[in-house]
């Protein structure tokens, strides 16, 4: 096995360059450079009915022995494609590697593939295969042990310190956009409170085709190959080998540069990306409603104009720095309540999570009031931190709405009818059993409003 070089490269993140070497290990990168180069063996004769997705590397229905003879003369890295003599329409890739001929069943569905990876060209498939086989051959033991000496903690501390610096700048510029409600809880949720960074969140990894050179941010080793070299977190941008991603803790720190939207995003993700205890959509809307709308008859029951709601939603997505001024200028308070209801409806995981949903329904079924309170409190405590704090702020707001019921005609029972199906969604979807549970959803919200101080103390 080759000996690892005694020098290390610096890694460059998409946001900033980390000059705290050594962090990136160059061994696998240099090994990839030494892999055999793909060379197609050109067929010199004309072949009828050649598949259009193959080029001159296609040799027709030749035997396995003839293929081996051609490849032996070509040397390592040479390849050709032949049709099976026994099974028409089936094709084999013959490839010379490490002094031996290897044969692979070849497929095409718009892209070339042998296993899971898909390639636009056969040349790329062979190049990637040669790199993989070469690294597996000469660095198998190294790969098996590479995650045992991670650089993740060092990189993570650098990334977090840089993100906090950026967040302080972003929050300072957003200060004018955030609205403080009258409650102490909401006031603690905005600028100056970085508590959301402590919320536990799993990374949202997806297999990715990386362009250029990338290093795993867990083990510090090069991510070899041409496609599907590893995974990338869609929320924070962290990249890693697929095997290393299984060892990374639940410490994702989402960034709005990667999240890119506000509505329809997981609650923990958006609060961590904005570094606020609750989403600023909730904060701004509740602040505006409480400032001038608590006396409005039919509050939350009367719908706003859908075009106005969509317009404000788009501003939250694209112009957060100025959205506060826009919300304040909207005359119809029902438009603002419509935005808030829409935000909760579009959450991929409801405010009352699917996991906690059965606990709330069980509490609502309970006939003994004291037991119901205890069960509701336990159900609320089971929620993830971002969901708990947001529910606390929302229910506290709905309590103040219900306190004005003589003016706005919205009792705790009426608010339960409006918010029950939005906050509590059955994990089974819209089934017959979920329809049967609608009264229980309403009752759970009503009881949380009436018993807010007891449940959230």
Residue 12's pLDDT is 37
- Picking from 422, 430, 184, 356, the residue whose alpha carbon sits closest to that of residue 445 is 422
- The two tokens of residue 366 are 């309970």
pLDDT in tens, 396-423: 999 999 999 999 999 999 999 999 999 9
- The two tokens of residue 13 are 């993140």
Question: Would you say 238 and 248 are in contact if contact means Cβ atoms under 8 Å apart?
Answer: yes
Residue in the structure block whose two tokens are 């070469």: 134
DSSP secondary structure string for all residues of 424-441: B--TT-S-HHHHHTHHHH
Alpha-carbon span 296 to 335, nearest angstrom? 12
Alpha-carbon span 429 to 354, nearest angstrom? 10
432 C-beta neighbours (distance < 10 Å), count: 8
Alpha-carbon span 313 to 174, nearest angstrom? 17
Q: Which residue has the higher pLDDT, 106 or 433?
A: 106
Is the full-model pTM beyond 0.75? no
Residue 168's pLDDT is 46
pLDDT in tens, 254-311: 999 999 899 999 999 999 999 999 999 999 999 999 999 999 999 999 999 999 999 9
For 456, half-sphere exposure in the C-beta direction (CA atoms, 13 angstrom radius) is 21
Question: Would you say 215 and 221 are in contact if contact means Cβ atoms under 8 Å apart?
Answer: yes
pLDDT bin (cut points 50, 70, 90) of residue 216 is very high
Q: Mean pLDDT for the chain?
A: 87
pLDDT in tens, 47-89: 988 999 999 999 999 999 999 999 999 999 999 999 998 888 8
Phi and psi, residue 409, nearest 5°: 65, 25
Q: Which residue has the higher pLDDT, 240 or 19?
A: 240
- The two tokens of residue 302 are 């009367």
Residue 157's pLDDT is 63
- Picking from 7, 16, 31, 38, the residue whose alpha carbon sits closest to that of residue 222 is 31
């Amino acid at each position: 096995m080759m000996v690892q070089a005694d020098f290390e490269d610096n890694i460059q993140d998409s946001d900033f360059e980390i000059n705290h070497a050594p962090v990136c290990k160059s061994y696998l990168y240099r090994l990839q450079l030494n892999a055999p180069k793909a060379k197609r063996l050109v067929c010199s004769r004309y072949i009828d009915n050649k598949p259009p997705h193959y080029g001159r590397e296609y040799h027709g229905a030749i035997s396995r022995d003839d293929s081996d003879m051609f490849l032996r003369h070509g040397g390592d890295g040479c390849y050709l494609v032949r049709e099976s003599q026994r099974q028409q329409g089936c094709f084999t890739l013959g490839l010379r590697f490490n002094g031996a001929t290897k044969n692979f069943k070849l497929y095409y569905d718009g892209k070339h593939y042998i296993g899971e990876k898909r390639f636009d060209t056969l040349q790329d498939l062979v190049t990637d295969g040669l790199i993989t086989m070469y690294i597996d051959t000469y660095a198998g033991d190294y790969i098996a042990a590479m995650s045992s000496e991670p650089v993740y903690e060092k990189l993570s501390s650098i990334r977090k310190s840089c993100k906090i610096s950026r967040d302080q700048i972003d929050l300072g510029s957003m200060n004018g956009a955030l609205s403080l409600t009258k409650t102490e809880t909401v006031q603690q949720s905005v600028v100056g409170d970085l508590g959301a960074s402590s919320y536990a969140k799993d990374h949202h990894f997806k297999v990715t085709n990386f362009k250029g050179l990338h290093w795993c941010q867990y083990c510090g080793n090069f991510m070899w190959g041409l496609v599907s070299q590893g995974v990338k977190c869609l929320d924070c941008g962290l990249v890693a080998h697929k095997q290393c991603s299984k060892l990374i803790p639940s410490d994702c720190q989402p960034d709005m540069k990667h999240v890119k939207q506000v509505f329809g995003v997981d609650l923990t993700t958006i609060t961590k990306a904005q570094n606020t205890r609750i989403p600023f959509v909730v904060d701004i809307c509740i602040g505006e409603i409480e400032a001038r709308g608590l006396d409005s008859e039919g509050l939350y029951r009367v719908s706003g104009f859908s075009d106005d709601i969509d317009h404000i939603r788009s501003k939250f997505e694209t112009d957060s720095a100025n959205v506060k001024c826009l919300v304040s200028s909207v005359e119809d308070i029902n438009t603002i309540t419509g935005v808030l209801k829409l935000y909760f409806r579009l959450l991929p995981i409801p405010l009352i999570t699917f996991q906690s949903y059965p606990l709330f329904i069980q509490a609502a079924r309970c006939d003994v009031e004291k037991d119901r309170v205890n069960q509701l409190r336990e159900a609320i405590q089971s929620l993830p931190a971002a969901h708990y704090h947001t529910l606390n702020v929302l229910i506290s707001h709905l309590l103040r709405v219900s306190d004005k019921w003589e003016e706005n005609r919205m009792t705790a029972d009426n608010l339960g009818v409006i918010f029950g199906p939005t906050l509590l969604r059955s994990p089974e979807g819209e089934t017959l059993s979920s329809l049967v549970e609608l009264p229980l959803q309403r009752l759970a919200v009503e009881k949380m409003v009436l018993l807010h101080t007891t449940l959230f103390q």
